[in-house]
Amino acid sequence: MKIIDGKELAKKIRENLKIEVGELRKKGIIPKLAVIMVGNNKASEVYVRNKSKACDEIGIEFEEYIKGNNISQKELIKLIDNLNNRKDIHGILLQSPIPENLNIRQAFNEIDYRKDVDGFNPINVGKLSIGEDCFISCTPYGVIKMLEEYNIDLEGKRAVIIGRSNIVGKPLLQCLLNKNATVTVCHSKTKNIREITNEADILIAALGKPKFVTEDMVKENAVVIDVGINRSEEGKLVGDVDFENVSKKAAYITPVPGGVGPMTIAMLMNNVVKSAKLTLEK
């Protein structure tokens, strides 16, 4: 069994990006990410802080817009529009969740697809589904990068994803299809899930249920990717996979923490640099 070390791989990606940012700066382009956060959400604050740290390390400038619960939809859209129109901003990210009285879908749709480094705008979603170059949602992109780096061939392989969210499961389906895997997506209404997961050469758990994937759900020598981030009762981070037991059976497995999590931020940085590089072509 081989552990897929997301932490190490993410470090390597960030180091390469730092060099690329150095080159861009020599050409007068300073990559810049704007992050909008609405309301007080402790987890979001941690995520935003980690993104800001990663930007700092790589040489990407970071602008933070922290808005109170009282911001209106109109004001939020206006802020996004202002950022869309600024030439010095290459990436715009709206941290979710936002208060329920606001329409997050409409806000995501408003972000210029050329600055949509989270890949949530329908134009990027559509481009991904027809296999065109686009910004790919960072977590699925991180998963694909991991598989590539560990030379895990996907062509003709049976891939099973548990979870069909817009930010993880669905874009992963497209990414795996684009790599010629045969993909099944399971969700909360799926029947006989164990039978399906047992056919997987590549099993990806993205449902948000601690240790949901047990040894008996996994085929011998499968590749198991754990996207889940859950807090145990003792406050520890645990994935959607029962790592201790599944790792005895899998050929490759990602740990939590230190697997998909660090890759998500690395791919966000990658997308900001990609957006900045695209300005050279204009």
Q: How far is CA 87 from CA 32, 77, 83, 90, 176, in A?
A: 10, 18, 8, 7, 34
Which of 34, 222, 227, 267 contacts ligand NAP by CB under 6 A?
Answer: 227
Which of 5, 116, 118, 226 does the annotation list as catalytic? 118
Residues 6+ apart with CB under 8 A from 231: 237, 238
Residue 208 in contact with ligand NAP, rule: CB under 6 A: yes
Interface with ligand NAP includes 146 (CB under 6 A)?
no
For the residues of 83-125, what is the DSSP string, one character each?
Answer: HHH-TT--EEEEPSP--TTS-HHHHHHHS-TTT-TT--SHHHH
186 sits near ligand NAP (criterion: CB under 6 A): yes
* Binding of ligand NAP by 139 (CB under 6 A): yes
Q: Which of 185, 243, 184, 252 is nearest to 215 (CA)?
A: 243
Tokens representing residue 242 in the block = 């029962």
Does residue 106 carry a catalytic annotation?
A: no
245 is written with which tokens?
Answer: 């037991």
| Residue 77 token pair | 């859209």
Q: How far is the CB of 259 from ligand NAP (least distance, A)?
A: 7
Active site residue 282: no
- Restricting to residues 58-97, name those near ligand NAP by CB under 6 A: none
Nearer to ligand NAP by Cβ, of 76 and 205: the residue is: 205
| Cα gap 79→71, rounded to integer Å | 10
Pick between residue 52 and residue 165 the one whose CB is nearest to ligand NAP.
165
Q: Which of 31, 140, 171, 228 binds ligand NAP (CB under 6 A)?
A: 228
Asked if 137 is part of the footprint of ligand NAP (rule: CB under 6 A), the reply reads no
User: Judged by CB under 6 A, does residue 164 bind ligand NAP?
Assistant: yes
95 is catalytic: yes
Chain-centroid distance of CA 169 in Å reads 10
41 touches ligand NAP (CB under 6 A): no
Give phi and psi for 44, each to the nearest 5: -60, -40
Judged by CB under 6 A, does residue 103 bind ligand NAP? Answer: no
204 binds ligand NAP (CB under 6 A): no
Active site residues: 51, 95, 118
Q: What is the contact surface with ligand NAP in residues (CB under 6 A)?
A: 139, 162-165, 167-169, 186-190, 193, 206-209, 227-230, 260-261, 264
